[in-house]
Every structure is written in C-alpha cells, then in structure tokens.
Chains A and B, each alone.
Chain A
Amino acid sequence: MKLVVTEIKKYFNDQLVLHCPSFELDPGGALLITGDNGSGKTTLLRLLAGALSADQGSVFIEEGKSRALYEPGFFQFSDLTVSEHLAFYRGLSWNSSVLEEYSHLFDLQRFYSHKVSGLSKGWKVRLGLTAAFGRDADLLLLDEPLDGLDDEGRQMLSECLVRYRQRNSSGCVCIASHEREFFSLLSPTHLPLCARKSEQVASYGTGSS
C-alpha cells in the first residue's frame, strides 16, 4: 500500500492547525510523527484516516485499501464489557480470528466481563489498540499509543507491531508519539511537525535524523 501526501493545510475556525509538508510512504513503510502539543499530530492522523478532509493539499491512498485508527476512547462505550466490545467489532466485520489473536496478545481475556468504565487507563488503551490492530487494515494509524501503557503493555505493543509487519508486509504504519526510541524497531521515516505553523518544517528524514 502506498501513501502519498501533498502539502496539506487544515484550518479550524479560520485558524491554521496543521501545515504538513509533502511526503510519500512506500508499501511496508512506517512514519513517526513527532512535535510539540498543538503541532497537529492528531489532526494529521485523522486526515490520513479519512475522518477529516484537508482544506489544501491531498492524501492519496490506493482504492480499496482499509484503514484503522487508534485514539484514546475511540469506539469505546463505558457501559459495555470488554467481551461485548469484541462482539461489537466482530458484528462490524472485524476479522474474528485476527481480533482474537490481538486480544490475547494484549491479555484482554482477564477483563472480558469487566465494563470499560471500570478499567484503568492502561487497559482501555489495550482495548483500543486491540480494535485498531484487530481490524487488520492496510494503513494502521496510532495516536500516542504508549500513553498510559505500563512496561508489560509496551512490550505487548512492540510484539503487536512485529506481528502486524509479519501479517501485512505491504501495510503502512503511521504513529504520532513523543517517544522516538521505542518505535525504532520499525525503522520509521521521521516527520517532525512544528507548533508554530509559519515555521513548519519543509522536509522530513529517516528515523535517525
């Protein structure tokens, strides 16, 4: 799956919230988006996910390619249990076996009968990540996936990223995070965003840059 972005701008209430330079991601590529608070990382991920459209520029993804997005609280209902969430995702055409596989990787079965409102932040993150990985999409978008995860959760996340790579070698992963070292296992292209939009960086480099 190939992702092509031509310099995009997004405004909310006439205020520029994102100015992102053009970039391309080849099949199997990974992108790490970094930047200060308010630099537009979440907005960029939502644009790539198709939840928003750009005011200027464009996002091109091949026809028929699927997308999945992790954001805190995304597709989560406080009064449903973990197992009801998994059944809900299956009802919406998530692949049962893939969903099952990631729910085990994140050790969710311990909390199947628990309502989401009773889960800690870290376990809500695990459920959200299970939904995103379990979609088995061609473009996987993760917004601050480490936020709230303990060491065990981080280990599980890196295992899931490796598993995703093995399962979907041409799939692309885009991650917004402040922790560059953790994601070095993906050898991602690095895209730094700047909170001061007029001084937006005009280029991007590799993970080590």
Chain B
Amino acid sequence: MRHSFALFKKDLQLELRSGAQLFPLLTVSVLLVVFFALGIGALVHDQELRRELYHPILWSIFILTGSMSFLRVFESDREAKMLSGCFVFGISPTSFYLSKVIFITVLLFGNTLFSAVLLAALLDVSLLEYWQSLILLLGLVTVGYSALGSFLTGLILEHQHRQILFPLIFLPLLFPLFFAVIEISLVIFTAGGLLSVGGWLSLLIGLATVYLLLGVLLFEVVTKN
C-alpha cells in the first residue's frame, strides 16, 4: 500500500499542477448536461417524466465522460514507461493498478457529483431527500467502473490501436453495471433508501468486488511484457 500511496500522490501532484484530467472531463460533462437538459426541457414538460429521465441521462454521462479518462490518466505513465519500470525496480504492478483505481475513483466521483447536481438543477429535480443514497451509490459504482477500466487500460496500454480498442472492449462490459445502477437510482428516488433496492444492489456490490479482485489478482500477469 505504501507504493500505491506514493504513486497516487504523484498522480495527484500532476493533476493539481496541470489540471490535465479534471478540466477536460468537467468541460465535456457540463456540455453534455446542458445539451441533455436543453433537449429534455424543450420536449418534456411533465415533471414526473423528467424525474424518471434524470437517471439514465446522468449515468450515460458518467459512462461516456468516464471512458474518456482512462487512457488520458495512464498517458503520462506510458510516456515514463512506468509499467516496465515496476518490473525492473521490483515495484508490484498491483500497487500501480490500485493507485490508478483510487485516482480515477476520486476524479470521477467528484466530476459525477458535480454533473448530478447541475443536471438536477437544470431539470428541476430535487436531490435533497436522496443525496445520501446517491452518494453511496455513486461511490460504489465508481469503484467498480474504475477497477474494470484501469484493468483493461493496463492490458492495452502499449497497443498501437488502444484509442479504438478501449471503448470497444470496455463499453460492452458495462451493460450489467449500467442497468443495475439505473434500476437502483430509480428505486431510490421512488421508494427511498438503498435498503429497498435488494437484488440490484447485491448485483452492483458483486460486480464492483469481482472487477476489483480481477484487477488485483491478474493485473501483474496480464501486463508482464
């Protein structure tokens, strides 16, 4: 964990200095939120329908903007040959993987929270009653999403066509996560509370755990060479 922390700290320092990850992510998220809000606002006047549309829009924005982040976050490490370096200097590649999962989780959590509030404001949807459940859900889904995305990015990092390959591999694998999170957030907003979600929540926790374990156990094996 000590090495993971050092690697995370390095990512954080680079981000605080350049804002290279957060600013583009935030800009695209705001633009998407505004586009969707304008479109929905012009076509849908029923408040109940707006509330229902809020969830798929929010999670679609999360997935689209998040999938942009992975290769960018790994880029400076690719240039510095960090993964090769881990094998040379005897640093566990799993530490490197965990540092990326933590960094991307923090990045996407902050960005999505901002998008959620902005979208709610523009669609006139109140989050006041549900914010605790929403934050818990966001935390859970971001961990699973970052764990899977970081694993796949490490896998194709040195591939010549990684920009094309990444969404082709990553997005289809997100369907279970996507459906689970939409179902859960809909139930939260109608029935209230995470506890009333049942099976979908178990699926989401299971997926996040499997993705994280997959990365921890296999990242070193798949990135060797």
Contact = CB atoms under 8 A, between A and B. Distances in A.
Interface stretch (B8-16, B38-46, B103-111, B202-210): B8-16
Dominant secondary structure of chain B at its interface with chain A:
helix
B137 interface: no
B133 interface: no
Given A91-B2, A92-B6, A93-B2, A77 B76 contact: yes
Given A67-B89, A67-B90, A77-B14, A91 B81 contact: no
A78 B76 CA distance: 9
Contacts of B82: 75
Interface in A53-89: 53, 66-69, 71, 73-80, 84, 88
Contacts of B10: 77, 80, 84, 88, 91
Dominant secondary structure of chain A at its interface with chain B:
loop
Contact of A75 (B2, B17, B85): B85
Interface stretch (A18-26, A44-52, A183-191): A44-52
Contacts of B81: 51, 71, 73-75
Contact of B18 (A51, A71, A79, A91): A79
Nearest to B14: A79
Interface residues of B, number: 25
Nearest to B91: A92
A67 B80 CA distance: 17
A190 to B, nearest CB: 24
Contacts of A51: 81, 84-85, 87-88
B77 to A, nearest CB: 9
A52 B87 CA distance: 9
A135 interface: yes
A75 B7 CA distance: 11
B80 A66 contact: no
Nearest to A48: B88
Given A75-B80, A92-B7, 12 more contacts: A46-B84, A51-B84, A51-B85, A51-B88, A75-B81, A75-B85, A75-B89, A78-B76, A79-B13, A79-B18, A79-B76, A80-B14
23 contacts: A50-B88, A51-B81, A53-B225, A67-B88, A68-B89, A69-B89, A74-B85, A75-B81, A75-B85, A76-B80, A77-B80, A79-B76, A80-B13, A80-B14, A80-B17, A84-B13, A88-B6, A91-B2, A91-B5, A92-B3, A92-B89, A93-B2, A93-B91
Interface of B: 2-3, 5-7, 9-10, 13-14, 17-18, 76, 79-82, 84-85, 87-91, 224-225
